[in-house]
Amino acid sequence: MFLHRLACYLAGGTPVGGTRAYPGCRDRSLPTASIPVELPGVMYFATRSPVWGGGRAFYDPDAEGRVLARAHLVSASQFADIAAQEMYREPGADLDLTEVLARGRTELGVGRYETLIRAGWVDGLPLLTFTAPWKVHEIPPTTPSAAYVRHLASGLLEVGAWDADAVAAYVASRPGAGPHWSQEAVRELLTR
């Protein structure tokens, strides 16, 4: 959600606090627009990221709740290259988006970030993301690292729709965040 983090996917580089250098996209331009969105479902933390050293964020669109998020206007090739980098694959191949656009979901594999989701539409454009095939209650929660929480929370704050208290309360309430990440602890990360 954080534009600086997204820039590492687009142009290549290592995000602050991360341990992996990303090769970047074929098209290295920044998004032409970035807006706050609220999606149905739940964001939760699970598995262990070798890049961040803690839980990763996933999206369960079928769970009861709402997800605060940020939508970036990128091209289909940029979306494909970002997804490839998250799947630990080389960027450079386009994705067939026919099924996800028509049905709202398609699975490219069984691993994390290999399930494409169309979470809605904005001005006639699809809101696409990728997540894991499992549901929030099908996998044990994993506490995310400080660097990862800072990136997520900063991205939500940066878009300007929510204040620091609302962002901190939201992130701290996600499955896997507590009890380690209280609202106060997330808020403190935003002020460092």
* Cα distance between residue 149 and residue 79, in whole Å: 23
pLDDT of residue 147: 94
Cβ density class 146-166: b for 16+ within 10 Å, e for less = bbbbbbbbbbbbbbeebebee
Is the pTM higher than 0.75? yes
CB-based contact 162:36 (threshold 8 Å): yes
In this predicted structure, what is the pLDDT of residue 17? 85
Tokens 């660097």 correspond to: 147
**Residue ranges covered by each domain of the chain:** 3-191
pLDDT < 70: residue spans in the chain = none
CATH architecture of 3-191: Roll (3.10)
pLDDT of residue 192: 80
